[in-house]
Structure 1
């Protein structure tokens, strides 16, 4: 708990220290959403002939999807960014010598990143609801479990990018390109193509849409759907962690762990 509190405190201090960058990131995402939402409303209105129900469902889907995308980007990119930052500061090797063990330190960082992602998601959701005037069901007992399990799949991707960062040091361009892939996964037609549910974000996105738009409680979902959500979360998280540890061994073998 002391390690978690220390890292959480450090994260908050860094956010305060670089508050301009943090605020700019939120504003940028918010402005993109405003363009997408009002542009989408105009497009759907013209195509749908003014059908209020169709327009409302589509716009609600945009809000929920953007809410999830905001948190997914934060959770998967933050780990790689922190590895780059630790390399730049020259403190990366100290994490491997920590008495807590590198695995514990890394897992704690992941927990802190998830909390930060939830904070950013909450801020964005509040701004979106105020801006659009839409009403969504925000049952924390249902939304939080779905979101956390969904983000575990993107955390697995974050492990992979963090591992590649250890070896190749600067892959920010690749990471930014991957953000567009997250949009496709969130918008994937899981109902029409059930096999897509095994991909990152897909199952969680479908369940979050039902939870926030239709008011479906977490325990009201069929057990197979919950099972897919849990299994994909664990598989992607574990696979990402294993690949990260493999990349860390490669980086140490090549002697580039502390290089930047």
Structure 2
């Protein structure tokens, strides 16, 4: 009897999480469809910036070395880097802006009163954010490969886990800035500057400065480059490399979430949770 009751409660909990995930996804999709110009411009902007960088780089390489050798390989690196940049930007800005909007709309406090609990709601939003950012990345990647005519190794067994773990680290950074926004409000200029930092992290010189692997995105970018450009399989990476990827992913995610909770308590204590 006890086992039956326990099984029923577990089934209800799973069904509840499924309903919550569907609700979060439906709301986000509705916002994307509701503002098509903003959604379309987001894709176009990312693609146009990539086109300028790639075709400008290809023109330079054709003049210097006929587009062969190291410079040609660098162009493939630009595609891989932009693929990761697209996902990182979507993950970071999606999380930070979502929480900021919830506070502006006055619905952030309501999340604490849901039957699921605030932590569960945020966790589900984070999962959906990872899914959405991966979707944006795949869309831009398809457009880049179609336009440039270049080919990369797309090994889903390696690309998917490396990409997801890379995104988790930057989501942790997103939590930090979301928390700061609850306390200090108008910090859009500061958060916008992070997109330049993302480029620096993705292009970090891990060979010359190995310590940079401890920063978010850096280890994931290095492994993603090896997988998509050189065909390195997931099992071929040293255990230390994969452990570092997992450690930075969950380390920054948990640290960022803790900072967010601390900032939320500060905002509550000051009475500025939903005031902008």
Shorter-chain TM-score tier: over 0.9
Could you give the per-residue CA deviations for residues 88-111 of structure 1, whole angstroms, max 9, x where no partner exists? Answer: 222111012122111111111111
1:3 to 20, 27, 42: 20
Q: Is the 8 A contact 2:84 2:137 kept in 1?
A: yes
8 Å contact from structure 2 (residues 58, 67) kept in 1: no
- How many pairs does the alignment contain? 259
In structure 1, what is the equivalent of residue 183 of structure 2?
A: 167
Asked if 2 retains the 8 angstrom alpha-carbon contact of 1:166 and 1:256, the reply is yes
Structure 2 runs not aligned, ≥5 long: 1-17
Q: Secondary structure at the match of 2:224?
A: helix
Q: Secondary structure at the match of 2:179?
A: helix
Matches within 5 A, 1:160-199: 160-199=176-215
The reply on whether 1:124 has 2:135 as its aligned counterpart is no
1:243 aligns with 2:259: yes
RMSD: 1.1
| 2: CA distance, partners of 1:78 / 1:172 | 13
C-alpha displacement at 1:234, in angstroms?
A: 1.1
1:53 Cα shift?
2.4
Which whole-Å CA distance do the structure 1 matches of 2:115 and 2:185 have between them?
25
- Describe how 1:1-260 pairs up with structure 2 within 5 A: 1-47=18-64, 49-50=65-66, 52-260=68-276
Q: CA deviation at 1:51?
A: 5.3
Query: Deviating runs (4+, > 3 A) in structure 1?
Result: none
Deviation of 1:141 after TM superposition, in Å, equals 1.1
**Could you tell me how far apart the structure 2 residues matched to 1:85 and 1:167 are?**
14
Q: Deviations over 1:125-168 (max 9, x none)?
A: 01000110000011111101000000111000000011011112
Larger radius of gyration: 2
Q: Secondary structure at the match of 2:176?
A: helix
Alpha-carbon distance between aligned partners in 2 of 1:82 and 1:169, rounded to the nearest angstrom: 14
Between 125-134 and 78-87, report the one with greater CA deviation: 78-87
Contact 1:84 1:170 in 2 (8 A): no
- Structure 1 unaligned spans of 5+: none
TM-score in terms of structure 1 length:
0.97
User: Which secondary structure does the structure 2 equivalent of 1:65 belong to?
Assistant: helix
